[in-house]
A = this chain, B = another copy of it.
Amino acid sequence: MLERAIIQQRGFRNVVEDGRVTGFQLQLRMPNYRGAAGSLIDGVEVDIDGETWNAEVPLWTLQGRTFTLDQLRASTGVRWQLDEPATVTVPKPGGLAAGVHQVAVAVYLRRPYFPPDMARSVFRAADAATIVPPSAPDGVRYGASLYSYSGDMYTSMSLEDAMADIADMGATGIEILGEGNIPGYPAPASAWIDEWHGLLEKYALTATNFGSWVDNTMWRDRDLTAEEGAAQLRLDLRLAHRLGFTSVRPKFGVVTGDLQPHPIWTEVVERSLKLAQELDIVICPEIHSPTPIKHPVTRGYLDFIERTGTRHFKLLIDTGIFQTAPVDDPHDGVEVKKGESRPAFLEPLAVPMSDLADILPHVHFIQAKFFEIDDDLRDLHVPWDDILTTLAEANWSGWLSSEYEGRREPYRGRAQVRRQHALLRNLQSRQ
């Protein structure tokens, strides 16, 4: 699927030729209702943050061929299809700065079926879009969770679109929700599994973490038994392994407001550890707001590691616990109670960095939870500079996997994840 807006978020990038940045590119969806011969294209004006290039300047790449406007006007056999974006390349030595830009275009198309005085039609569009800088070769690895695209997945975004978006930012890891992103879960068709591996290869992505749920209240009249819970986790371990994942996060049902997992959790994990070892998958329970690091829940998981001596059970940190400001965006399925401003997990828990440093040796994976990054690449809630510094000081080199959880407006997750990657890489390059 193409993005609905004429200016596509995906594909906005600087162009490097012979090691030098010579300009930038953006992808445009055909703004008319029909595709057209390239010769009917009559240029595109581009404006970035007030700097403009006139309609004759940008180069056009259509169906794998690149043209000046004059070449395109004289062309035959090349089309701007309704289902294929055009790539527009604008010369600008040094390119655009990493970060958010205000982009405006005016696309000119000649439409011979309109009266002559209207036949040269202009289609205008404007949007904010983000240039993501390349990542440093060392240190944390960058990925994204499909959770970020909730609402967009299966409505305006296919699995391949999500993978293309992640790769387009230069990220290399993909995290999925087993019960969300696998058609036919828990028994996907072999053809889908083949397609999954094909897409990983096509977009050079690594399968990182597989989200799993152990639903203790699966039935209303009785609790899930440890045996049933273990069956669920073992099913997900096997499925994750077939799909190439190296960790599985079981989200255990909880019994208290501070997310104490149902007591079956230890037995569920114990019954699954041998399989995890065989498959070399790390089981990672999630430390999630409102539960901090210094808390019996986290302590319980660390005790389990100590007691069993396993290397296949570690922690997953959701960076929502480091929130320094409250989040008041709505959260699907959560209604704020009378007398409360917001649910507890959206209050700023502000876990100190020293707590993170203490447990980092036991942290396998980080969900880079966030809610909003503004036009100046400032995160309004999560202190990324502190987090990246803490990770760098510990030489932590696991996955930082974007987990956007802000407003679920269409396309917002995609745009925000790009911003987060730009922000994180900017910070990383300064360390």
Contacts and interface: CB of A to CB of B under 8 A. Distances in A.
Interface string A149-176: 0110111101000000000000000000
B33 A177 contact: yes
A219 B73 contact: yes
B37 A156 contact: no
Given A155-B2, A334-B118, A40 B218 contact: yes
A44 B144 CA distance: 33
Number of copies: 2
Contacts of A258: 115
Contact of A114 (B184, B254, B335): B254
Contacts of A333: 31-32, 109, 111, 121-123
Contacts of A177: 33-34
A253 B1 CA distance: 31
Interface residues of A, number: 74
Interface in A395-414: 410
Interface string A320-338: 0000000000001111000
Contacts of A259: 115
A115 B220 CA distance: 16
SS of A interface (majority)? loop
Interface stretch (A78-86, A362-370, A371-379): A78-86
Nearest to A154: B83
Contact of A217 (B3, B110, B343): B110
A33 B119 contact: no
A128 to B, nearest CB: 19
A218 B334 CA distance: 56
Nearest to A33: B150
Given A154-B1, A156-B155, A255 B116 contact: yes
A39 interface: yes
A100 B111 CA distance: 37
B215 A1 contact: no
B116 A256 contact: yes
Contacts of A34: 177, 179-180, 211, 213
Given A33-B151, A39-B218, A113-B252, 7 more contacts: A1-B1, A33-B180, A33-B332, A34-B179, A40-B218, A83-B154, A113-B213
17 contacts: A3-B155, A4-B151, A4-B156, A36-B215, A37-B215, A73-B219, A82-B180, A82-B181, A83-B154, A110-B217, A111-B333, A112-B215, A112-B254, A112-B262, A115-B257, A116-B254, A121-B334
Interface of A: 1-4, 29, 31-37, 39-40, 73-74, 79, 81-83, 109-119, 121-123, 147, 150-151, 153-156, 158, 177, 179-181, 183-185, 211, 213, 215-220, 251-259, 262, 332-335, 343-344, 410
